[in-house]
Structure 1
């Protein structure tokens, strides 16, 4: 795995040990972009996750682990508890280098992205219930899980910030330092010009500024097509 990667440690009580759910770097940034209203286009350059991005990933992981726990109900009921998140592989130590592990790969894709989510469980963790795993016949449709409805529900409940830009002005640093109360700034747009509405620095709508019941408001007049959609 490259750095940063979202490594999420969790336990499966009453089983003893710690497992990992990891999100590939590009997929992690694509999911974050979707949560903020973007189309999930991967970043050109990787970087560390910001605090807000870590919180968004944690929200996704809690939802994924909740569904992972439900998938185990037909095999061996467990209580999955999220422990912590790390972004660098050198800080992740849950098994010895020579221990055997079981890796489950989930493929996630969207219009602008595709990537894998991994669940890594130590064999020692599953050894107490290995007879249940080997003797119980589970049909594919019983263990396959439809992620799309859960992802859509997670994104539907995500709060995003909309910014309506009334206009722009360019001034020198000297002008800014000499500004006083009641000084006027001439904007590049007039009162009849449409307002651009952005979500996570992406232009999404045009609208007209006004007042509704004493509050400033913007009426949506046009849906902007994002490049690549």
Structure 2
């Protein structure tokens, strides 16, 4: 018990601290081996920024969506990426506007659910546009849900969006977007725990007289099994993304006018013979009557052919390709 301070010693020590006579700071050096905490859900976290394929998927998605929504509405619809970030689901969930069209779907074959959010005003603007309106949503949305007709139209738009999202994934990984259900209250759209990291793509959608937002929210745990594929930034090289462009280019190429010419034969003469040529002279060609002529396409020899006549006009009959030899 010799190391236990008496009450008198305790009082003396406390009095010394109060008067500043007892030093309370220590001179123990801080360790240089401390560990800094890192927030993996911050915008700079090692999720979406280390998976460039997600960015390319979004770019394709935007391209597909512009065409599909414009075709569906019969008017020009602009779509652009407003933001792309990784965030805690709880934080994202609190930012969801009310009301909204909350569409829960699966990205098969992966586990878990993803969420498509259509801002309420945007959903109503689509409905107005399809009913011949100007797409300017002046509706007071507080507490307002969707009628059965409105829900049916919004459902068709959601299907277009999910189909295009599935197409956008095609060259990275074959997936199927399967619609599960639709909600208007965020508390019924909790697809994962509040602390889980989600990848959120926010898109700006421009109708003729209205602009709104939609968001695609995917839990990181859902796509984690293919993180190595998503780290690859070269999926776009063989993309179906521009299959529409490819088809257009092929169509235009088929309409291009091509010059073709045929050489029946050749002859070699001297300069003196050339200078003495006159009308009526006959040149003997090096080719025999059975030798094929050469058919050129834009100056490039492509076919072997035999000359003749057809419908009272000079003609050639193709016998084979020169590069087959």
Q: TM-score, normalization: structure 1? A: 0.59
Identify which of 111, 114, 134 aligns with 2:231: 134
Partner of 2:107: 12
1:100 aligns with 2:190: no
Partner of 2:149: 52
4+ runs of 1 displaced by more than 4 Å? 138-145
CA contact (8 A) 1:72 1:78 kept: yes
Unpaired segments ≥5 residues, structure 2: 1-95, 243-325
Larger relative strand fraction = 1
Q: Which has the larger radius of gyration?
A: 2
Identify which of 155, 172, 185 aligns with 1:88: 185
Q: Flag the 1:27–1:140 CA change in 2: closer, same or farther, 3 A.
A: farther
1:62 aligns with 2:62: no
Whole-Å separation in 1 of the counterparts to 2:233 and 2:173: 10
RMSD: 2.1
Whole-Å separation in 2 of the counterparts to 1:92 and 1:102: 16
CA contact (8 A) 1:18 1:94 kept: yes
Whole-Å separation in 1 of the counterparts to 2:113 and 2:150: 24
Identify which of 188, 204, 210 aligns with 1:113: 210
1:24 aligns with 2:119: yes
1:73 aligns with 2:170: yes
CA contact (8 A) 2:171 2:238 kept: no
Q: TM-score, normalization: structure 2? A: 0.42
Identify which of 213, 222, 227 aligns with 1:125: 222
Superposed displacement of residue 30, structure 1:
0.4
Task: Please state whether the residue corresponding to 1:41 is helix, strand or coil.
Answer: coil
Whole-Å separation in 2 of the counterparts to 1:122 and 1:67: 19
Listed one character per residue, the Cα deviations across residues 102-121 of structure 1 (whole Å, up to 9, x for unaligned) are: 01122210221001111100
1:39 aligns with 2:39: no
Superposed displacement of residue 44, structure 1:
3.7
Task: Please state whether the residue corresponding to 2:116 is helix, strand or coil.
Answer: strand
CA contact (8 A) 1:42 1:112 kept: no
CA contact (8 A) 1:29 1:43 kept: no
CA contact (8 A) 1:4 1:49 kept: no
Whole-Å separation in 2 of the counterparts to 1:92 and 1:141: 36
Partner of 1:207: none
Whole-Å separation in 2 of the counterparts to 1:118 and 1:30: 16
Q: Flag the 1:125–1:67 CA change in 2: closer, same or farther, 3 A.
A: same
Listed one character per residue, the Cα deviations across residues 44-97 of structure 1 (whole Å, up to 9, x for unaligned) are: 411211111111100100111011100000111101110100011111121100
Task: Please state whether the residue corresponding to 1:21 is helix, strand or coil.
Answer: strand
